[in-house]
A and B are shown apart, each in its own frame.
Chain A
């Protein structure tokens, strides 16, 4: 009853092409943005910021990046974390070696470096497809992280391997408290998500999806495969690079290669599978899922431990987590291969009819 398109006519192509053509959706998004930008900073606890909101947003950005490459362009990648690492280390070096550089420029520089590396490791995609390409991205993952640990110049000859990230400062304002970090991350992620959505529904997005669906046909209608694929790698790596920089500066507080392991790459891949391949919303839903489920699990295990006094060893939580993730991946692939985003879409369709059954 509430959620209906009836009466909303579009009289121009511009109106029809809007990201949110239905008025209720627009209102919904406005409410969510209001909550995100205004309500949460005032109401949330530091724990909520540091442990849930900030990592969800940052990893959603990385998931957006991977989604561009894997979900839209169809190039399977298992190396997202490596590009995050490039972004983090490059940003660190920009801040370190270019005195007075604006922080956002350093982050963008990190993204650009990641994009450059992404293009290099994307070159094999011109000849390799499917899970062969996945193996090539594994090469990227291992090689890049190895480089970052071994090449002294990158780590500023730090012997411990763990570098403390510099404090974040933009135009004199320092971003120290969880609240401030949250707002910074939220702004950056929101803007980049908008850009991603625009690209996805524009010409480049269609080119990527064409390559994903049938690259031979895409070539025949004039799409330049090489350019489009490398662009997908570049943009995807840029997003992952910025996410990596944020990961180091706004979340971990340190810049270390071990944080960008294969495990993180898998997590990001799971995010887009569970969230929904080829959708912007899916990156956010998947990220929230992957960040929150472990916390819920450990809370549940602790609760059981305390109430039932099972004497459960600590490793149970992490093992259960593996099982739950693995099981959920399989579950989603069987039941709803298009992920949470599709479930949301179906819910909206049902909402259109509600409260009527059909």
Chain B
């Protein structure tokens, strides 16, 4: 039994609840290796979250990480972006090598991410949340800000303009002053994406950006992700469970299971890989 084939437009029988978009055109920009993780092993006490995982991400591509629940996908993103420090292994990013970055270095080197369980600042408005994404671009000291003159004022207005571009891009103008805590789940996810984009990242890590969305919302989100990749050239690493989305959006796929890598390649190849099928669907039973 194969995993659902990438289909064009709407085809509900193939997989109930999967969203589909136009498949990616083969002629797309790719480049050198932007990120390479090498034999990453991460354990929490006795629990091994990741074991010897190695893969790379090429510039401008969309890389999907898939796998059953508990496979270590979020942990992998957390390692890349410095939230967890692996016990073994190295990370090579933009020519530099680390055992584990700290989150600030990761953010400053152009890595941004969204989270599975929305990590927005519930006490602030949408606009303020997205503006926090620009904090690394703002250099004025607090004294200058206290007097609202010169550099502080200029920076604030310039960054506001950039943020408004993103607001337009993601079509959230109507909620810009709403406190984030009041928004429905789908919009919150979009705001989180906006905050990540505000940092103008070179590498964007998305942790289940479409979880809990209905078909329409998923289609919108897919469109946004594709646009981000095509317009801004942002490299994207994406964790996703919806196979249709994965097959349509991504250039290459990494498959994790129980913390190990069990597949790595183009979607069409992964789709037919036996180890992957068994991990997801279990061995055939009579």
A82-B123 Cα distance, complex, nearest whole Å: 29
Does B71 reach chain A (CB closer than 8 Å)? no
New A-B contacts (12) at CB < 8 Å, excluding given A203-B140, A206-B132: A17-B160, A198-B147, A199-B146, A202-B145, A202-B146, A206-B128, A206-B135, A212-B123, A214-B122, A217-B119, A217-B120, A223-B135
Quick one: which of A13, A195, A205, A212 contacts B147, CB cutoff 8 A? A195
Cβ contact within 8 Å between A219 and B146: no
Cβ contact within 8 Å between A213 and B124: yes
Contacts A210-B132, A222-B136; A199 near B124 (Cβ below 8 A): no
Contacts of A203 in B (CB 8 A): 131, 135, 138, 140, 145, 152, 155-156
A17-B145 Cα distance, complex, nearest whole Å: 13
Contacts A198-B146, A206-B135, A222-B199; A214 near B83 (Cβ below 8 A): no
| Segment from B32-40, B105-113, B219-227, B231-239 that makes contact with A | B105-113
Quick one: which of B119, B128, B135, B156 contacts A216, CB cutoff 8 A? B119
Q: Which residues of A, 197-230, contact B by the 8 Å Cβ criterion?
A: 198-199, 202-207, 209-210, 212-214, 216-224
Smallest CB separation, B145 vs chain A (Å) = 4
Chain A contacts to B: CB under 8 angstroms: 13-14, 16-17, 195-196, 198-199, 202-207, 209-210, 212-214, 216-224, 231, 235, 278
Cβ contact within 8 Å between B148 and A213: no
Does B68 reach chain A (CB closer than 8 Å)? no
Number of interface residues of B (CB under 8 A): 40
Contacts A195-B146, A235-B142, A278-B123; A220 near B160 (Cβ below 8 A): no
Q: What is the 8 Å Cβ interface bit string for chain B, positions 74-100, against chain A (1 contact, 0 not)?
A: 000000011100000000000000000
Q: What is the 8 Å Cβ interface bit string for chain B, positions 159-197, against chain A (1 contact, 0 not)?
A: 011001000000000000000000000000000000100
**A-B residue pairs, 7 tightest by C-beta:** A222-B107, A217-B119, A202-B145, A213-B121, A195-B146, A222-B136, A204-B142
Quick one: which of A13, A17, A198, A209 contacts B121, CB cutoff 8 A? A209
Contacts A13-B161, A206-B135, A221-B112; A231 near B142 (Cβ below 8 A): yes
A214-B132 Cα distance, complex, nearest whole Å: 12
Nearest residue, chain B, Cβ from A226? B104
Smallest CB separation, A343 vs chain B (Å) = 17
Smallest CB separation, B154 vs chain A (Å) = 10
Nearest residue, chain A, Cβ from B119? A217
Smallest CB separation, A112 vs chain B (Å) = 13
Contacts of B269 in A (CB 8 A): none
Q: Which residues of B, 252-278, contact A by the 8 Å Cβ criterion?
A: none
Nearest residue, chain A, Cβ from B152? A202
Smallest CB separation, B147 vs chain A (Å) = 7
Smallest CB separation, B183 vs chain A (Å) = 15
Cβ contact within 8 Å between B152 and A221: no
Contacts A17-B160, A202-B152, A220-B81; A207 near B132 (Cβ below 8 A): yes
Contacts A17-B156, A209-B128; A199 near B145 (Cβ below 8 A): yes
Smallest CB separation, B44 vs chain A (Å) = 16
Does B133 reach chain A (CB closer than 8 Å)? yes
Contacts A198-B146, A235-B142; A220 near B122 (Cβ below 8 A): no
Does B5 reach chain A (CB closer than 8 Å)? no
Contacts of B161 in A (CB 8 A): 13
Cβ contact within 8 Å between A198 and B148: yes
Contacts of B152 in A (CB 8 A): 202-203
Cβ contact within 8 Å between A17 and B123: no
Contacts of A14 in B (CB 8 A): 153, 157
Contacts of B135 in A (CB 8 A): 203, 206-207, 221-223
A222-B81 Cα distance, complex, nearest whole Å: 11
Cβ contact within 8 Å between A220 and B103: yes
Contacts A206-B124, A209-B128, A212-B123; A219 near B156 (Cβ below 8 A): no
Contacts of A209 in B (CB 8 A): 121, 123-124, 128
Contacts of A219 in B (CB 8 A): 103-104
Most buried by B among A203, A209, A214, A216: A203
A212-B124 Cα distance, complex, nearest whole Å: 11
